[in-house]
Amino acid sequence: MHQNKHQKKWEDLFSEAFPHLKQFASDALTYLLDPAIRFLRQKVSDQQQFGGNKTREHLSEFIANITLGLVASVLNIFSSIAEQYASSKPTNFFNSQDGIGSGDIQTLFDVVLNDSNGQWKRWQVRVPINKYNPQQPYEEILVQTEDTVAMTTMLDILNKAKANILVTGTTGSVNTIVVNDFLHIPTVQDKSLFCQIKISAQSSAKGIQEVLEGILTHRRSNLIGPPVGKQGIVFINDMNTPTPEIYFAQPPIELIRQCVAQFGVYDRKKLTFICLTDTVFVSAFGPPGGGRHEVTRRLTRQFHTIGMPQVGAASFNTIYSFIIVWLLSNQKPSLPATVQELAQPVVDATVEIYQETYSTFLPTPSKSH
C-alpha cells in the first residue's frame, strides 16, 4: 500500500521533470526497493526492531523513508546534470512539501532529507553559529554557509565510506578551504593520519613518492600505511598543476593514479611492488587554465567527484556581514552606533561591486583568435 503510494509520487515527479526517464526511474525503484524490503522482513523481526503496538505503522514509515532517501539520491544526480533545463519543475515539487519552510527553494540543492522524520529541510537549519577567531589569518577564515555545510556533509559521508574524493570548483569557490577545514575537525583527526602534499608545475613523481613513504609507516618490507587502527588521508591540492612533458605525459599524475587504482608504488631501488593500505586520497583543483592542465580520465574515474558551486550573493552577504559586523562591534575604544549601523550598507555595496566586476571583466582568453 505504502510502496505503491510512494512509487506513484516518484513517477509523477519524473513525469514533470524528466519524462524520458520515467520508466527507468520506476524500474529502478522496484528493482532496488523490493529486495531491500524482503531482506528487512527476513532478517529483522517487527517486534525486535520497532516494538510497541504501532509495529506495522513504524515499519511503513521506515519503508517510506527508504523511498525518500532513494528519491533524494537520484534527484541529486539527475538534477545536477539537467538543472539549467528542468530545475524549476522539481523545485516546485519541493516548495509544495510540508516542513520545508518559506517555499523559496531555488534549486534542489537548497534542501536535504532529514533522516529522523523523512522531511525535506533547508540546509540553513544545519548551519552552525559562526565564531570569529581574531588570531586566524583572513585567508583561512571559513564562515559557514549552506554551501559549506552541504559540502562538509558530503565529505563526511564519503570519508566514512573510505572513498577517494575529488573536489572541483572555480576560483573563489573556496573548495580548498572547505576540504582543509573538514580534515582538521577533531573527530576526523583523531581517527586519521593526515598528510598534505603540495603540487606545483615542477613537482616530480619521485618527490611525491618520497613524501608518501616518509609519512606512512612501513608495516612490512612490502607494505606501507598509517598506524594500525587509523586511516591515512592524503590531501593533494592543485592536482592538475604538473606541467605535461613533450609527449603530454604527467609522471606525478600517473604515480597518484597508480596509488589509487593499483594500491601501491614500486620500490625505486629493489624494483619490487610496495602495497599501500588503509589510505584514501582527497584532491582539490580548479578548471584548466592559468597554469592548470587537463587531467587524464584514468585518474579522475577513480574518485568520487563533488562540484563546489560558485559563492552566491546570499553567501557573500553572510560572509562579509559576519566579518564586518564583528570588526566594527569589537573595536577598542568602541565605535559610535552610527558607524556600526553602516555595516550592512557597506556589505551590500561590496557584493554589488563584486558581482558587477565579475560579470563585466571576463577572463582573458589564452589565444586571441
Pairing, β 120-122 against β 111-113: antiparallel
Identify whether the C-beta of residue 237 lies closer than 8 Å to the C-beta of residue 196: yes
pLDDT at residue number 75: 60
pLDDT at residue number 331: 74
Write b or e for each residue in 262-295: b if 16 or more Cβ atoms lie within 10 A of its Cβ, otherwise e: eebbeeeeeeeebebebbbbbbbbbeeeeebbeb
pLDDT at residue number 263: 92
Please report, for the chain, the start and end positions of each structural domain, with discontinuous segments joined by +: 2-89, 146-307, 311-360
pLDDT tens, the chain, 369 aa long: 445 555 666 666 666 656 666 666 666 666 666 666 666 666 555 444 444 455 555 655 666 666 666 666 666 655 554 444 444 455 555 555 555 444 556 666 777 777 666 677 777 778 888 777 777 776 677 788 888 888 888 888 888 888 899 988 876 667 788 888 888 888 888 888 888 888 888 888 888 888 888 888 888 888 988 888 888 899 998 888 888 888 888 899 999 999 999 999 998 888 899 999 889 999 988 888 777 888 888 888 899 888 877 777 777 888 888 888 887 877 777 778 788 788 888 888 888 898 888 888 877 666 665
pLDDT at residue number 50: 47
Residue 337: Cβ-neighbour burial (10 angstroms; 0-12, 13-18, 19+): exposed
> What phi and psi, each to the nearest 5 degrees, are found at residue 309?
-70, 155
Cα 235–chain centre separation? 14
pLDDT at residue number 71: 62
pTM of the predicted structure, to 2 decimals:
0.70
The structural architecture, per CATH, of the domain 146-307 is 3-Layer(aba) Sandwich (3.40)
pLDDT at residue number 257: 92
pLDDT at residue number 148: 84
pLDDT at residue number 68: 62
Residue pLDDT, tens place only, 41-56: 665 554 444 444 555 5
